[in-house]
Structure 1
């Protein structure tokens, strides 16, 4: 859609410019923990109710024993669990878009890595979260830049009592354990929330159906260890009911191994040249300030400010002993990044029937990298944006939500390194990259529990530092002048509640991508380059339901289908996502203290390479039983992958076989 036509469409809407958020019951459990930090939300709010956002509550995460953010997100329709096998990273895709196009936030603060725009969601545990919000396509422009396909917001806890706590201790076979403690206190004008968690696995067990390979003999998966620790603290001051100020701190410390490729694809370079990688450090530290000041009537000002650091060490070894680094492919790579920035949001209801919101964002990303015994290379990006969103209540039943935004990114510093001369020089200077974003949503309430919506969103994503400047270990040519990717996302949704017990939602969607950043082969002999040459279309449907039967039995699940077409070059296939995913669960409470949950998930086969290597389809069954043994204590036990299925998200990287867990929980609220 051209800019002029889009702007005309927006300007024709009465009271253009204000926003609303989306919150449907597409979550697995619509129970939301009372300890919910509203200041951490980024919402397109309506006057009466919220509309269209998927939320995973703490209750659902605990019931399904999901201790990683990525596996929690996989409970939702339209969200697929993905992985980067060679880097042992856990990620998700939302309606076909990866995490570069669906940025991740913590209480509205961006946490994605400055260098490549990704974040390893296995490093983010769920122990201190109250909820996870997912927006698709039509996500709030108040998030800031790069929400091409949506946004993911991790929302922390907030105490509501004078003293409350929750914690757990657990064991996971084999040689794994977990523990966490959250403590909070709300004293009226002051509150604090603190948390600590620890998750460790020596390794995970391979499924019995795995066939021995040269670098993996089965049993315990070699080099699959992990350790993740997290400390969080925030203190809030509410001098009156119209003001809230919060200072917060969060520190994550991780280490992990990367299992070796054990697939059957001779075209994969790792088939003959395996990687022996370990990550002794994956550390992230964040300081932040949040505020909300309500002015006259419904007017308000919100602010977010943050300073975030990311330090990372990758060791590449000679062989599977993980001791020597003497071969040509052995190295130690070090990242030392930091980011700072903030946003200000102003909302006003000065125009009758309208809630108008304005936001301004600024973010400065500094990426510093080098291999041991090499000089440090520096990369510095500045990104700014402004946005206007409006919620226009046409009638009691009909709401329009238009929005428009502008973003700009300018590189200050980009340094190149010549390994032959051992000299650092500057990449060629480029001009600023800019992008317009806009969207329109129409929402109609037939009845109290019958809703329909149509949304249209034109979104963009800036090229990352890696997209523009990486040599990709000598196989690529940098392209500092990459333009933003663009997408137009359409969504038609209906949700309803029938017989007071059956909740349903149905969605169909279509996305058209232009200027997509794709790797073009043989720009020079044997070398590729990232270029804005791609055009593609994604389309699909999602169905979600939940049925509660007499408080003892609940049934729920979802169905997702997606087609992705590379219209520029159909022979280059999209990877990592199955076209079909089905999730179903049954929750039964035979007596009040006991709860039994069984879930099953089917994933169709998926491409692991652009030339057609596939990971086979699979079906998993998980089960768990929990019992309240005391007012402040419960015990849980369960089995994941009950039938010991040998399956893969990425060809050559088998996932965990059958595993057991036992957890003791304590809580006071």
Structure 2
């Protein structure tokens, strides 16, 4: 069904314009509350004064949506799209940049265990989340590699006063999906604790009944997250936090028309010890020690129950860090120093490989007047496997008055070559092609030659100098407006990425297949704009509108377009195309939008939450042989997704919730693997 996107935007903007006209008659004193955030500056700041593009998802918004996993709530945010990779994991795309360029944190420390750059966000339950802070744009000045495109920080709940309280909830959904949460908060004098547990299971789903393989196989997982707090005094506080995650999934495959079955297991633990020390009214320090380990193991047996294949992945990260903030009148100077020690042992690596790096960062939060805020800083990383990186950033916010401000930022970001790009050594047993990491490629190619497996090497290819880190320059410029019942946030962005790491043919084997390795090849740019607005018509009725316009293209394609001009159209005719026919990078939509309605019925203590999401057409593959996406390729058509939830407050302690995700049951089995169709759910929660 063809969707009239223009009509959708006209209607949505009309609602906002009408809202502004009605504003004069609004009830006074209903200002939106100020929100304190920490991710953008590593210090506590008021959101409205922050000179960076940032989004906050509150615990209230998460609860009313009815979702249970981190990937689900992120997928409902403006400018964020979750893209499934070949493994089925959903990776985040922000400002047109891939998942490998976004750092994921829990309480300020990073998760590890990426598969081809993609982190499985369904590993994280939302049952104990206080808020989620999303910083868009290059953030390497504070967070280093993997933050080239932005940072997402999941902040969990913490006891705030002497009390014993908690929640117990159960949610049942389509596909025999079960979600059980327990979250206990306790505080007495100097000691406090938080214990969160979650059990989650599903039978998976199958969009194509003609094959024995499901899109998602049956699985179950559990999370245990204990946190302890001890206040030695008002000025010295200790935090000990741990997280344990375990999952088991059916592992099924069809190879050469034969069925193979087995299991796939994931195990993860995170441990953080932090000491907060307030020396005096002006000097504050944090001492942090963090360690994490992620493992997955899988196997496949043939029809005779004989082991056919076994794979493993075992990654460690150890990171101590010290941060200090000095308050100088209205300004803050923050500095930090730390080191990362990483190891990875996995299938298709010859050895257990290691990275180590040392870093220092400095940031100055300068407030010369009440109207001006300047945020300037840099980070320097020294790494064992690639050149040292200096990542500066400058951001400015000008507040015209309490309701209106302009903000802009420019920053440098980088993404280090990952373990796979440096040390991978894989030969496909069925097809016969080979993929080699950059650091092992020369030695393995020499071995292939000695064994008589190479037909030829690609001319001009050498591995003489180290693979360089990808780098990006990011610009943001926007405005923030908030008055009475209306909040408006607009941001324009531009990203220019150089030294993009991609695969390239380095040799041809005697079996006719190619050998690939990784090189700094392409230059990519993305630009666009985001619009977010919220209007409270009454205390009971709120409407929110979000929209993103995005262009994402490969500069080398534009500069050398004559290499891509000839394609085969649907009638198998050779056609010459123009530069204007080049659509851009794969899996990017020019238009995404959402509109959200929240309506409260006080008389029956019920909240109704309706969200509608739109994504315009996009291309996933080159289908006409010219290696780029153009108008003659096959596209995924634009579509709407509608989610609905209703929450009934039985009393102060019991909440019942029911709803449906993908209410209109949209699926596209041949092209979109992560749209499972309509999913009904019901949830009950007990507060104590």
Instruction: Normalising by structure 2, report the TM-score.
Output: 0.79
Structure 2 match to 1:77: 78
Q: Contact 2:39/2:133 (CA < 8 Å) preserved in 1?
A: no
Cα deviation 1:129-175 (Å, max 9, x = unaligned): 11111111153733343311111111111012411101211111231
Q: Aligned-pair distance for 1:590?
A: 2.2
Q: Distance in 1 between matches of 2:187 and 2:473?
A: 44
- Asked if 1:192 is matched to 2:193, the reply is yes
Higher helix share: 2
Structure with the greater relative contact order (CA < 8 A, sep ≥ 6): 1 or 2? 1
Structure 1 match to 2:145: 145
Q: Distance in 2 between matches of 1:599 and 1:527?
A: 47
CA gap of 1:214–1:197, structure 2 versus 1, over 3 A, is: closer
Q: Distance in 1 between matches of 2:597 and 2:73?
A: 17
Q: Secondary structure at the match of 1:568?
A: helix
Q: Aligned-pair distance for 1:655?
A: 2.1
Q: Contact 1:39/1:107 (CA < 8 Å) preserved in 2?
A: no
Q: Secondary structure at the match of 1:563?
A: strand
Q: Aligned-pair distance for 1:111?
A: 0.8
Map 1:113-128 onto structure 2 (within 5 A). Answer: 113=113, 117-128=117-128
Q: Aligned-pair distance for 1:512?
A: 0.6
Q: Contact 2:49/2:397 (CA < 8 Å) preserved in 1?
A: no
- Asked if 1:556 is matched to 2:549, the reply is no
Map 1:47-446 onto structure 2 (within 5 A). Answer: 50-51=49-50, 52=52, 53-84=54-85, 86-113=86-113, 117-139=117-139, 141-161=141-161, 162-204=163-205, 206=207, 213-215=210-212, 221=214, 224-257=217-250, 280-316=264-300, 324=305, 330-350=308-328, 352-370=329-347, 377-411=351-385, 432-446=386-400
Identify the match of residue 493 of structure 1 among 478, 494, 499: 478
Q: Distance in 2 between matches of 1:314 and 1:588?
A: 46
Q: Aligned-pair distance for 1:229?
A: 0.8
Structure 2 match to 1:21: none
Q: Contact 2:480/2:490 (CA < 8 Å) preserved in 1?
A: yes
CA gap of 1:39–1:616, structure 2 versus 1, over 3 A, is: closer
Structure 1 match to 2:468: 483
- Asked if 1:615 is matched to 2:636, the reply is yes
Q: Contact 2:224/2:244 (CA < 8 Å) preserved in 1?
A: yes
Q: Distance in 1 between matches of 2:64 and 2:46?
A: 32
More deviation in 452-461 or 601-610? 601-610
Q: Aligned-pair distance for 1:205?
A: 5.9
Q: Contact 2:396/2:408 (CA < 8 Å) preserved in 1?
A: yes
Q: Distance in 2 between matches of 1:305 and 1:659?
A: 41
CA gap of 1:260–1:652, structure 2 versus 1, over 3 A, is: farther
Identify the match of residue 603 of structure 1 among 615, 628, 638: 615
Structure 2 match to 1:631: 652
Q: Contact 2:138/2:472 (CA < 8 Å) preserved in 1?
A: no
Q: Contact 2:290/2:319 (CA < 8 Å) preserved in 1?
A: yes
Q: Distance in 2 between matches of 1:302 and 1:331?
A: 46
Instruction: Normalising by structure 1, report the TM-score.
Output: 0.82
Q: Distance in 1 between matches of 2:177 and 2:48?
A: 43
Q: Aligned-pair distance for 1:315?
A: 2.7
Q: Contact 1:556/1:584 (CA < 8 Å) preserved in 2?
A: yes
CA gap of 1:114–1:581, structure 2 versus 1, over 3 A, is: closer
Q: Aligned-pair distance for 1:436?
A: 1.0
Q: Aligned-pair distance for 1:259?
A: 7.9
Q: Contact 1:57/1:132 (CA < 8 Å) preserved in 2?
A: yes
Q: Aligned-pair distance for 1:520?
A: 2.0
Structure 1 match to 2:499: 515
Structure 1 match to 2:16: none
Q: Aligned-pair distance for 1:395?
A: 1.1
Q: Contact 2:114/2:120 (CA < 8 Å) preserved in 1?
A: no
Q: Secondary structure at the match of 1:653?
A: coil
Q: Aligned-pair distance for 1:625?
A: 1.0
Q: Contact 1:105/1:154 (CA < 8 Å) preserved in 2?
A: yes
Q: Secondary structure at the match of 1:142?
A: helix
- Asked if 1:567 is matched to 2:555, the reply is yes
Q: Contact 1:223/1:257 (CA < 8 Å) preserved in 2?
A: no
CA gap of 1:276–1:651, structure 2 versus 1, over 3 A, is: farther
Q: Which has the larger radius of gyration?
A: 2
Q: Secondary structure at the match of 1:59?
A: helix
CA gap of 1:453–1:652, structure 2 versus 1, over 3 A, is: closer
Cα deviation 1:166-210 (Å, max 9, x = unaligned): 12111112312110000011213111000100111112364xxx6
CA gap of 1:100–1:384, structure 2 versus 1, over 3 A, is: farther
Cα deviation 1:388-414 (Å, max 9, x = unaligned): 111111211011111111112215xxx
Unaligned runs of 5+ in 1: 1-28, 262-269, 412-431
Q: Distance in 1 between matches of 2:606 and 2:545?
A: 22
Q: Contact 1:40/1:155 (CA < 8 Å) preserved in 2?
A: no
Q: Distance in 2 between matches of 1:121 and 1:475?
A: 29
Unaligned runs of 5+ in 2: 1-30, 428-432, 440-465, 559-563, 565-581
Structure 2 match to 1:590: 601
CA gap of 1:48–1:495, structure 2 versus 1, over 3 A, is: closer
More deviation in 657-666 or 113-122? 113-122
Structure 1 match to 2:450: none
Q: Distance in 2 between matches of 1:654 and 1:46?
A: 37
Q: Distance in 2 between matches of 1:508 and 1:275?
A: 50
Q: Secondary structure at the match of 1:301?
A: strand
Q: Secondary structure at the match of 1:340?
A: strand
CA gap of 1:192–1:214, structure 2 versus 1, over 3 A, is: closer
CA gap of 1:521–1:223, structure 2 versus 1, over 3 A, is: same
Q: Contact 1:277/1:314 (CA < 8 Å) preserved in 2?
A: no
Identify the match of residue 502 of structure 1 among 470, 486, 493: 486
Q: Secondary structure at the match of 2:650?
A: strand
CA gap of 1:32–1:181, structure 2 versus 1, over 3 A, is: farther
Q: Contact 2:222/2:247 (CA < 8 Å) preserved in 1?
A: yes
Q: Distance in 2 between matches of 1:46 and 1:171?
A: 39
Q: Distance in 1 between matches of 2:533 and 2:658?
A: 26
Cα deviation 1:87-134 (Å, max 9, x = unaligned): 121221111222321111111111122775532101112112111111
Q: Distance in 2 between matches of 1:377 and 1:165?
A: 46
Q: Secondary structure at the match of 1:119?
A: coil
CA gap of 1:662–1:449, structure 2 versus 1, over 3 A, is: same
Q: Distance in 2 between matches of 1:576 and 1:224?
A: 25
